[in-house]
Amino acid sequence: MVTGMKTDIAIIGGGIMGSAAAYFLARSGQVGSVTVIERDSTYTHATTPQGAGGVRQQFSVEENVHMSCYSLKFYKAFADRLGGTPDLPDINFREQGYLFLVTADGEDTLRKNHALQTSLGVKADLIDYAEVQRRFPSIQRENIVLGCYTPDDGWIDPNGAMWGFRRAAEHLGVTYVKGRVTGASTGAREVKSATLDTGQIILADFFINTAGPWVNEVAAMTDANVPVVPMCRVQHFWKCAHQIEPLPLIKDESGMFFRPEGDGYAGGRPSFDVAPGFVEDIYSGFFANYFEDTVWPMMAALVPKFEHLKLQRSWAGHYAQNTLDGNMIIGKYSPGHDNIITACGFSGHGIMHAPAVGRALSELALTGRYQTLDLSRMEISRVHANAPLAEVGIK
Ligand X SMILES: Cc1cc2nc3c(=O)[nH]c(=O)nc-3n(C[C@H](O)[C@H](O)[C@H](O)COP(=O)(O)OP(=O)(O)OC[C@H]3O[C@@H](n4cnc5c(N)ncnc54)[C@H](O)[C@@H]3O)c2cc1C
What residues between 153 and 212 interact with ligand X by CB under 6 A?
180-181, 210-212
CB of 307 to ligand X, least distance (A): 24
Q: Note whether 17 binds ligand X by CB under 6 A.
A: yes
Furthest CA-CA distance within the chain: 72
User: In 10 A of CB 250, how many CB atoms?
Assistant: 26
Q: Note whether 100 binds ligand X by CB under 6 A.
A: no
What residues between 104 and 143 interact with ligand X by CB under 6 A?
none
Q: Note whether 233 binds ligand X by CB under 6 A.
A: yes
SS3 90: coil
CB of 46 to ligand X, least distance (A): 3
Q: Note whether 18 binds ligand X by CB under 6 A.
A: yes
Residue 142 vs 281, nearer CB to ligand X: 281
Cβ-proximal residues to 207 (8 Å cutoff; 6+ apart), any chain: 9, 10, 11, 12, 184, 191, 194, 339, 340, 341
CB of 101 to ligand X, least distance (A): 17
SS3 280: coil
Q: Note whether 63 binds ligand X by CB under 6 A.
A: no
Beta bridge pairs of residue 102: 146
Alpha helices by DSSP H, 284-331: 290, 296-302
CB of 376 to ligand X, least distance (A): 20
Q: Note whether 346 binds ligand X by CB under 6 A.
A: yes
What's the full length of the chain, in residues?
395
Q: Note whether 48 binds ligand X by CB under 6 A.
A: yes
CB of 231 to ligand X, least distance (A): 8
φ, ψ dihedrals at 191, nearest 5°: -85, 135
> Which stretches does DSSP call E strand in 131-190?
146-150, 154-155, 175-178, 181-186
Q: Note whether 23 binds ligand X by CB under 6 A.
A: no
The closest of 205, 216, 153 to 13, measured between CA atoms, is: 216
Candidate residues 69, 204, 351, 378; the one interacting with ligand X per rule CB under 6 A: 351
Q: Note whether 89 binds ligand X by CB under 6 A.
A: no
Residue 106 vs 230, nearer CB to ligand X: 230
Round to whole Å and give the CA distance between 351 and 154: 12
CB of 130 to ligand X, least distance (A): 28
**Binding stretches for ligand X (CB under 6 A):** 12-18, 37-40, 43, 46-48, 50-54, 180-181, 210-214, 217-218, 233, 235, 317-319, 346, 348-352
